[in-house]
């Protein structure tokens, strides 16, 4: 009986701690609701009007046409016209984005706005509505909606939160993101906001808006285009990566990326000496054995990211290698991660979808087979934490290189 009472007391203390922790997460939004009627469903987001009043008011005024905005295409100022209606939506890793009427990050409403940070509110849950960071500043109109708790948004300062979307809206945003990301945001028909409404306290939700004229959506979609050069086929050896979540089989582009291929294969086989900058110990052991695929993001990629004993690199770096026609135009591209154009080292990733925005920024050194693409798809969708690390670690057991 005493054991039961003690356990109950522990439960009570834990519950109280959880309650305090929940309070510490910050305020909940209590302002008006932004209703995005999109061509793929409705997304409703409550706004932090009290905590971010200027950001929210700017957003509402643009949505309702109460604030002038710049038409960057025609170089004119637009009056009495809702900014967001008829604007296209794009997918991003772990979210969607919009509010660009021209494309390429050039069609914001009015440049930048001051950032209002809300104490205790971070990208610690799905459905955060934020004004996106552009050129290091907070855009006046670009928004993002997140799909998962993701501290990369905080770490990389990707936006200023001003709303929280409901679960049904997150499901719609997830559907939009997947539809766009699986084709690299290159579609024949845009996904767009038909109408953005602001619903205040005491007002009923509006009826679902009719479809916006597809011909007037801005920016118009970028349809898939045939490559100017066909992608080369890999002709090098095959890497067979044995992991606790399945086998990854990738043929290597030895001709197009000789430095990356040599680095990867020699490290994998224990034929290249590497240095752990934490312990300052050099080794020729197979480098990847026992390391983890430590970053997984659906519709984007899975990445082998961690280093032995917390090391930041293996003691060497090399330049990006590119080749004509070799682009991130498909899932299953095996590529080297980097922290700059001359700072490739050891960490690699495999794409889960086309990722044209990575072109010319990372070295593609392999193409994985169809079975691997399916394994990567499943791997990218395992339960993960806010650091995008799998809850159950995915470990590299060993790598073999076959002719």
Interval 64-91: pLDDT, tens: 999 999 998 778 999 999 999 999 999 9
Residue 71, H or E segment: strand 69-71
Task: Find the largest Cα–Cα distance for the chain.
Answer: 78
Question: Could you tell me if 395 and 292 are in contact, meaning their C-beta atoms sit under 8 angstroms apart?
Answer: yes
Using a pLDDT cut of 70, give the percent of the chain over it.
Answer: 92
In the structure encoding, which two tokens stand for residue 121, read together? 């509110």
* CA nearest neighbour of 80 among 67, 63, 90, 93: 67
What gap in Å lies between CA 188 and CA 183, rounded to an integer?
A: 10
Residue 389 has pLDDT above 50, yes or no: yes
Buried residues in 149-159 as b, exposed as e (16+ CB within 10 A): bbeebeeeebb
Residues of the chain with CATH 2.40.100.10: 27-216, 238-402
Q: What is the pLDDT of residue 308?
A: 65
What gap in Å lies between CA 269 and CA 287, rounded to an integer?
A: 8
Q: What is the pLDDT of residue 239?
A: 98
* CA nearest neighbour of 193 among 4, 20, 36, 385: 36
Residue 393 has pLDDT above 60, yes or no: yes
pLDDT band at 312 (very low <50, low <70, confident <90, very high): low
In the structure encoding, which two tokens stand for residue 328, read together? 């991130």
**In degrees, to the nearest 5, what angle opens at C-alpha 369 toward C-alphas 304 and 271?**
50
User: CA-CA distances (angstroms) from residue 49 to 55, 56, 126, 161, 311?
Assistant: 8, 6, 19, 11, 44
128-182 pLDDT tens trace: 999 999 989 999 999 999 999 999 999 999 999 999 999 999 999 999 999 999 9
The CATH architecture annotation of domain 27-216 reads Beta Barrel (2.40)
**pLDDT, average across residues 306-325:** 80
In the structure encoding, which two tokens stand for residue 237, read together? 């050896």
Q: What is the pLDDT of residue 306?
A: 78
User: CA-CA distances (angstroms) from residue 263 to 85, 93, 257, 278, 343?
Assistant: 50, 28, 10, 21, 13
Lowest mean pLDDT: which of 3-7, 63-67, 197-201? 3-7
263 Ramachandran zone, left/alpha/beta (phi>0; psi -120 to 50): alpha
Q: What is the pLDDT of residue 311?
A: 58
214-252 pLDDT tens trace: 999 999 998 877 777 899 999 999 999 999 999 999 999
CATH class of 238-402: mainly beta
pTM for the structure as a whole: 0.91
In angstroms, the first-to-last Cα distance of the chain is 67
Q: Which residues pair with 46 in a beta bridge?
A: 33, 164
Question: Could you tell me if 196 and 84 are in contact, meaning their C-beta atoms sit under 8 angstroms apart?
Answer: yes
pLDDT band at 11 (very low <50, low <70, confident <90, very high): very low
As a whole number, the mean pLDDT across the chain is: 91
DSSP codes, 109-150? SSSEE---PPTT--S-STTEEEEEEETTEEEEEEEEEESS--
* CA nearest neighbour of 267 among 365, 139, 367, 377: 365
Q: What is the pLDDT of residue 224?
A: 79
pLDDT band at 23 (very low <50, low <70, confident <90, very high): very low
* CA nearest neighbour of 260 among 356, 354, 326: 326
């Amino acid at each position: 009986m005493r054991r039961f009472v003690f356990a109950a007391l522990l439960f009570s203390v834990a519950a109280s701690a959880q309650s305090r922790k929940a309070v510490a997460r910050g305020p909940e939004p209590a302002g008006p609701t932004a209703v995005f009627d999109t061509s793929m469903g409705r997304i409703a987001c409550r706004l932090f009007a009290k905590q971010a009043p200027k950001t929210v008011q700017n957003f509402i005024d643009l949505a309702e046409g109460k604030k002038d905005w710049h038409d960057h295409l025609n170089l004119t100022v637009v009056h009495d016209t809702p900014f967001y209606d008829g604007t296209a939506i794009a997918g991003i890793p772990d979210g969607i984005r919009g509010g660009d009427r021209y494309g390429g990050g050039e069609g914001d409403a009015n440049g930048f706005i001051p950032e209002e940070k809300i104490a205790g509110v971070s990208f610690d849950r799905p459905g955060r509505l934020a004004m996106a960071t552009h050129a290091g500043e907070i855009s006046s109109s670009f928004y993002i909606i997140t799909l998962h708790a993701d501290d990369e948004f905080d770490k990389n300062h990707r936006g200023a939160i001003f709303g929280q979307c409901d679960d049904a809206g997150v499901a719609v945003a997830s559907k939009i993101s997947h539809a766009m990301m699986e084709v690299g945001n290159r579609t024949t028909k845009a996904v767009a906001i038909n109408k953005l409404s602001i619903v205040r306290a005491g007002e009923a939700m509006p009826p679902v808006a009719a479809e916006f004229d597809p011909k007037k959506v801005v920016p118009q979609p970028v349809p898939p285009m045939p490559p100017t050069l066909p992608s080369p086929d890999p002709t090098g050896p095959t890497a067979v990566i044995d992991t606790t979540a399945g086998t990854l089989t990738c043929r290597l582009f030895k001709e197009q990326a000789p430095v990356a291929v040599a680095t990867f294969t020699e490290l994998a086989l224990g034929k290249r000496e590497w240095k752990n900058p934490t312990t300052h110990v050099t080794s020729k052991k197979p480098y990847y054995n026992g390391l983890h695929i430590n970053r997984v993001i659906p519709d984007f990629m899975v990445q082998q990211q961690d280093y032995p004993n917390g090391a930041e690199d293996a003691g060497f770096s090399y330049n990006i290698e590119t080749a004509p026609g070799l682009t991130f135009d498909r899932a299953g591209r095996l590529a080297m991660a980097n922290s700059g154009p001359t700072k490739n080292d050891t960490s690699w990733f495999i794409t889960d979808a086309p990722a044209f925005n990575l072109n010319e920024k990372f070295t593609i050194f392999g193409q994985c087979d169809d079975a691997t693409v399916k394994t990567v798809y499943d791997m990218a969708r395992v339960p993960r934490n806010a650091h995008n690390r799998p809850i159950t670690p995915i470990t590299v057991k060993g790598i073999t290189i076959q002719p």
